[in-house]
Structure 1
Amino acid sequence: ASLIVLGTMGLPIEIVGLLASVEPLIDMGRTALNVSDSMVAGVAASNAVGGLDRAVLRDPEARVSGEGHAGM
Protein backbone atom coordinates (compact mmCIF):
# COMPACT_ATOMS: atom_id res chain seq x y z
CA ALA A 1 0.00 0.00 0.00
CA SER A 2 2.88 2.36 0.78
CA LEU A 3 4.36 1.83 -2.69
CA ILE A 4 1.09 2.77 -4.36
CA VAL A 5 0.54 5.87 -2.21
CA LEU A 6 4.13 7.09 -2.57
CA GLY A 7 4.06 6.54 -6.33
CA THR A 8 0.76 8.38 -6.67
CA MET A 9 2.06 11.33 -4.63
CA GLY A 10 5.26 11.49 -6.68
CA LEU A 11 7.46 10.72 -3.67
CA PRO A 12 10.56 8.51 -3.88
CA ILE A 13 9.80 4.82 -3.37
CA GLU A 14 13.12 4.39 -1.54
CA ILE A 15 11.59 5.72 1.68
CA VAL A 16 9.43 2.58 1.99
CA GLY A 17 12.27 1.01 4.01
CA LEU A 18 12.18 3.92 6.42
CA LEU A 19 8.41 3.71 6.73
CA ALA A 20 8.61 -0.05 7.37
CA SER A 21 11.06 0.52 10.22
CA VAL A 22 8.91 3.22 11.86
CA GLU A 23 5.52 1.50 11.39
CA PRO A 24 5.79 -0.76 14.49
CA LEU A 25 6.22 2.32 16.69
CA ILE A 26 3.22 3.99 15.10
CA ASP A 27 1.21 0.78 15.51
CA MET A 28 2.07 0.59 19.23
CA GLY A 29 0.82 4.15 19.72
CA ARG A 30 -2.36 3.38 17.80
CA THR A 31 -2.96 0.27 19.92
CA ALA A 32 -2.40 2.19 23.18
CA LEU A 33 -4.90 4.81 22.04
CA ASN A 34 -7.49 2.16 21.17
CA VAL A 35 -7.07 0.42 24.54
CA SER A 36 -7.38 3.64 26.54
CA ASP A 37 -10.41 4.65 24.45
CA SER A 38 -12.08 1.32 25.22
CA MET A 39 -11.41 1.73 28.95
CA VAL A 40 -12.84 5.25 28.98
CA ALA A 41 -15.92 4.09 27.06
CA GLY A 42 -16.43 1.23 29.51
CA VAL A 43 -16.20 3.47 32.56
CA ALA A 44 -18.48 6.09 30.97
CA ALA A 45 -21.09 3.49 30.01
CA SER A 46 -20.95 1.89 33.46
CA ASN A 47 -21.42 5.31 35.05
CA ALA A 48 -24.35 6.11 32.74
CA VAL A 49 -26.27 2.97 33.72
CA GLY A 50 -25.47 3.39 37.41
CA GLY A 51 -23.21 0.36 37.72
CA LEU A 52 -19.95 2.16 38.48
CA ASP A 53 -18.49 1.36 41.90
CA ARG A 54 -16.29 4.40 42.54
CA ALA A 55 -14.66 2.82 45.60
CA VAL A 56 -13.29 0.03 43.41
CA LEU A 57 -12.39 2.49 40.64
CA ARG A 58 -10.26 4.57 43.03
CA ASP A 59 -8.70 1.59 44.85
CA PRO A 60 -5.08 1.20 43.65
CA GLU A 61 -5.04 -2.37 44.97
CA ALA A 62 -8.17 -3.45 43.04
CA ARG A 63 -7.59 -6.24 40.52
CA VAL A 64 -9.71 -7.88 37.86
CA SER A 65 -10.56 -11.43 38.80
CA GLY A 66 -11.12 -14.28 36.39
CA GLU A 67 -14.63 -14.75 37.72
CA GLY A 68 -17.58 -13.21 35.90
CA HIS A 69 -20.24 -11.01 37.45
CA ALA A 70 -23.46 -12.62 38.59
CA GLY A 71 -25.51 -10.19 36.48
CA MET A 72 -23.75 -11.04 33.22
Structure 2
Amino acid sequence: MPHEMTLGEVYLPPLLVIAFIAYLVANGVSMMTAKLGGYQWIASPAIFELSLFVLISALLGLVIPIV
Protein backbone atom coordinates (compact mmCIF):
# COMPACT_ATOMS: atom_id res chain seq x y z
CA MET A 1 0.00 0.00 0.00
CA PRO A 2 1.80 3.19 -1.13
CA HIS A 3 1.88 6.17 1.18
CA GLU A 4 3.38 8.42 -1.47
CA MET A 5 3.55 8.16 -5.23
CA THR A 6 6.61 9.18 -7.17
CA LEU A 7 6.77 11.06 -10.43
CA GLY A 8 10.41 11.02 -11.38
CA GLU A 9 12.03 12.12 -8.15
CA VAL A 10 9.06 14.10 -6.85
CA TYR A 11 6.93 12.56 -4.12
CA LEU A 12 3.21 13.20 -4.48
CA PRO A 13 0.58 12.51 -1.84
CA PRO A 14 -2.14 10.16 -3.09
CA LEU A 15 -4.87 12.70 -2.29
CA LEU A 16 -3.30 15.17 -4.73
CA VAL A 17 -3.21 12.52 -7.45
CA ILE A 18 -6.84 11.59 -6.73
CA ALA A 19 -7.91 15.25 -6.87
CA PHE A 20 -6.11 15.80 -10.19
CA ILE A 21 -7.64 12.71 -11.82
CA ALA A 22 -11.09 13.54 -10.42
CA TYR A 23 -10.81 17.09 -11.78
CA LEU A 24 -10.03 15.82 -15.26
CA VAL A 25 -12.83 13.24 -15.22
CA ALA A 26 -15.36 15.71 -13.77
CA ASN A 27 -14.50 18.28 -16.44
CA GLY A 28 -14.93 15.63 -19.13
CA VAL A 29 -18.32 14.58 -17.78
CA SER A 30 -19.34 18.23 -17.43
CA MET A 31 -18.37 18.97 -21.03
CA MET A 32 -20.31 15.95 -22.28
CA THR A 33 -23.32 17.01 -20.21
CA ALA A 34 -23.17 20.52 -21.69
CA LYS A 35 -22.72 19.22 -25.23
CA LEU A 36 -25.69 16.84 -24.91
CA GLY A 37 -27.91 19.56 -23.43
CA GLY A 38 -28.14 18.10 -19.96
CA TYR A 39 -27.67 21.44 -18.20
CA GLN A 40 -31.22 22.44 -19.04
CA TRP A 41 -32.35 19.88 -16.46
CA ILE A 42 -29.89 20.99 -13.75
CA ALA A 43 -31.01 23.81 -11.42
CA SER A 44 -27.54 24.84 -10.22
CA PRO A 45 -24.66 23.88 -12.52
CA ALA A 46 -21.98 24.99 -10.05
CA ILE A 47 -23.31 22.70 -7.32
CA PHE A 48 -23.63 19.90 -9.87
CA GLU A 49 -19.98 20.25 -10.91
CA LEU A 50 -18.77 20.41 -7.30
CA SER A 51 -20.79 17.36 -6.28
CA LEU A 52 -19.57 15.50 -9.36
CA PHE A 53 -15.97 16.25 -8.35
CA VAL A 54 -16.59 15.09 -4.77
CA LEU A 55 -18.32 11.90 -5.95
CA ILE A 56 -15.54 10.99 -8.38
CA SER A 57 -12.91 11.78 -5.72
CA ALA A 58 -14.64 9.47 -3.26
CA LEU A 59 -14.88 6.66 -5.80
CA LEU A 60 -11.22 7.04 -6.75
CA GLY A 61 -10.34 7.07 -3.05
CA LEU A 62 -11.76 3.58 -2.80
CA VAL A 63 -9.48 2.41 -5.63
CA ILE A 64 -6.30 4.33 -4.75
CA PRO A 65 -5.41 3.91 -1.07
CA ILE A 66 -4.85 7.26 0.65
CA VAL A 67 -3.16 5.98 3.82
Could you say which structure has the greater relative contact order, defined with CA pairs below 8 angstroms and 6 or more residues apart? Answer: 2
Q: What TM-score, normalized by structure 2, do the two folds share?
A: 0.44
Question: Greater CA radius of gyration, 1 or 2?
Answer: 1
Q: What TM-score, normalized by structure 1, do the two folds share?
A: 0.41
